[in-house]
């Protein structure tokens, strides 16, 4: 058989290609599956963080900011540890991005504070002189959609087995319980903010989009 193949260059090349491709699949897929498992310490987003992620997507923050630190010294020196595939296990969709008008935000929670984000979103130039980023004052008055965030969390738990309510993971429970947890987290964030209208809204049981967005950004570590 092999002597016959050696006399047929085309078929020999096809068999060789298929053999190498099959061997490559056997070698790569198990490691890829292992690497895509949640990294130790990775948790699903809380309901408030998910609501903030929705604001992030709605206002197209991912058009100018990536969330993917590549394994190059120039990247890790600026942004921190390079990204691991398992860190995105609970991201739907991924927000890797393909363009950086602004800095990468994969680990922004490690070096920016609630106060910084508040000032930056209201008046970017006040903290980053010369920036081209626009202001987002509407986030301080628009109310975040907690119910839709809860619906997403409930869906990914039921369909994809995201481990909400497991030991050490964010609690989900009923909608009322999720709303109460979101409000408790929102109060902690609002306490570190200066904007009085935001503080008043949270005190009255509402969550402005800026609070939800900051919760999401603070979770990126």
The pLDDT assigned to 48 comes to: 98
Domain residue limits, the chain: 2-26, 47-57+106-219
Q: How many CA atoms lie within 13 A of 49 on its CB side?
A: 16
Please give the chain's pLDDT, 221 residues, in tens. 556 666 677 777 888 888 888 877 777 666 655 656 777 789 999 999 999 999 999 999 999 999 999 999 999 999 999 999 899 999 999 999 888 999 999 999 999 999 999 999 999 999 999 999 999 999 999 999 999 999 999 999 999 999 999 999 999 999 999 999 999 999 999 999 999 999 999 999 999 999 999 999 999 99
- What is the DSSP annotation of the chain? -HHHHHT-HHHHHHHHHHHHHHHHHHHHHHHHHHHTSPPTT--PPPHHHHHHHHHHHHTTGGGT------SSHHHHHHH-SPP-GGGGTT-SS----S--SS---TTGGGT--HHHHHHHHH-GGGTSTT--PPP-GGGGTSBP-HHHHHHHHHHHHHHH---TTSTTS----SHHHHHHHHHHHHHHHHHT---HHHHHHHHTT--BHHHHHHHHHHH--
Q: pTM for the complete prediction?
A: 0.84
pLDDT at residue number 41:
85
């Amino acid at each position: 058989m092999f002597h016959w193949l050696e006399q047929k260059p085309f078929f020999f090349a096809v068999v060789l290609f298929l053999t190498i491709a099959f061997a490559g699949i056997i070698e790569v897929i198990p490691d890829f599956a292992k690497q895509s498992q949640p990294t130790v310490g990775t948790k699903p987003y809380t309901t408030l963080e998910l609501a903030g992620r929705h604001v992030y997507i709605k206002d197209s923050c991912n058009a100018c900011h990536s969330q993917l630190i590549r394994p190059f010294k120039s990247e890790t020196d600026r942004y921190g540890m390079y990204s691991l595939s398992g860190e995105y296990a609970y991201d739907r969709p991924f927000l890797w991005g393909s363009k950086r008008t602004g800095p990468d935000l994969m680990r922004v929670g490690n070096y920016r504070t609630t106060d910084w984000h508040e000032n930056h979103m209201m008046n970017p130039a006040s903290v980053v002189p010369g920036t081209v980023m626009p202001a987002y004052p509407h986030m301080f008055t628009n109310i975040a959609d907690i119910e839709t965030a809860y619906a997403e969390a409930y869906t990914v738990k039921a369909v994809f087995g995201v481990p909400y309510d497991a030991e050490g993971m964010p609690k989900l429970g009923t909608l009322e319980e999720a709303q109460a947890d979101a409000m408790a987290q929102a109060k902690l964030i609002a306490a570190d903010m200066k904007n009085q209208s935001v503080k008043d809204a949270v005190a009255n049981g509402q969550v402005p989009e800026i609070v939800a967005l900051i919760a999401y950004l603070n979770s990126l570590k």
